[in-house]
Amino acid sequence: MTTPTGAALIATLAQFRQPAMALDRIGVGIGGKDPAAFPNVVRLWLGDTAGADLRPEPGGDGQPPLARWQDNVILLETNLDDATGEQIGFAMEQLFEAGALDVWYTPIQMKKNRPGVVLSAMAPASLESRMSEIFLRDTPTLGVRIRAVGRYVAERDVVTVETRFGKIRVKRKWLGGELVSQSPEYDDVARAAREWGVSWGDVVGAMGEGE
């Protein structure tokens, strides 16, 4: 809730995204009133943005990069030394289903000589609360590290190729309007190989027969 003047200032001056920053502390305030329409809670992140711009400078020729810059992305991580393989696998499935861009594990050595893993997930910043909840609910961890990241991403699309083994989807990668690589969808190739009783190479090879 705000005044008309406050709304005008926010709409004109505010940037509705989390900037690249070195996080110092997080504060949460709860108001005295309890409106029915929304929770009366505000969270404030304090940090230093000096020198925190994640976007690299243009190349030596001064030209912009061919890939697309993507910010407003977060990296969530936690160290685990008391989670079973089943727990970690389930957490990965839940994170992907909730919209994570990528999820991975990294082996580490933890205190008391315990082998462990770092569970990492990259996701849109808008999904921070949902991602954090999955970390805390579906693993034994007591805390999650979060930081803003940025990345360059290539443009991509998916086309369907007709082969003698059926339709196979192909993922294509583009840079500056140029096709630089393409790869068949794993699930489609595996399905065709099983259904026709042929090898993986047979299915992939059939994709180029019509060219």
- The segment(s) of the chain belonging to CATH 3.30.70.1380 are 68-153
Q: Is the pTM of this model over 0.95?
A: no
Residue 162 to residue 210: CA distance in whole angstroms: 9
CA–CA–CA angle 135, 141, 146 (5° rounding): 55
CATH class of 68-153: alpha beta
Q: Which two tokens stand for residue 29?
A: 């305030």
Burial of residue 145, with CB atoms counted within 10 A of its CB: 0-12 exposed, 13-18 middle, 19 or more buried: middle
Per-residue confidence (pLDDT) for residue 164, from 0 to 100 = 94
> Among 91, 142, 125, which Cα is nearest to 21's?
125
Please report the pLDDT score of residue 89 as a whole number: 96
Q: What do you get for the CA distance between the two ends of the chain, in Å?
A: 62
pLDDT, mean of each 10-residue run, the chain (211 residues): 84 75 80 83 78 52 69 92 94 97 95 93 93 95 91 90 94 90 95 96 85 49
In 3D, which of 114, 164, 113, 160 has the Cα closest to residue 140?
114
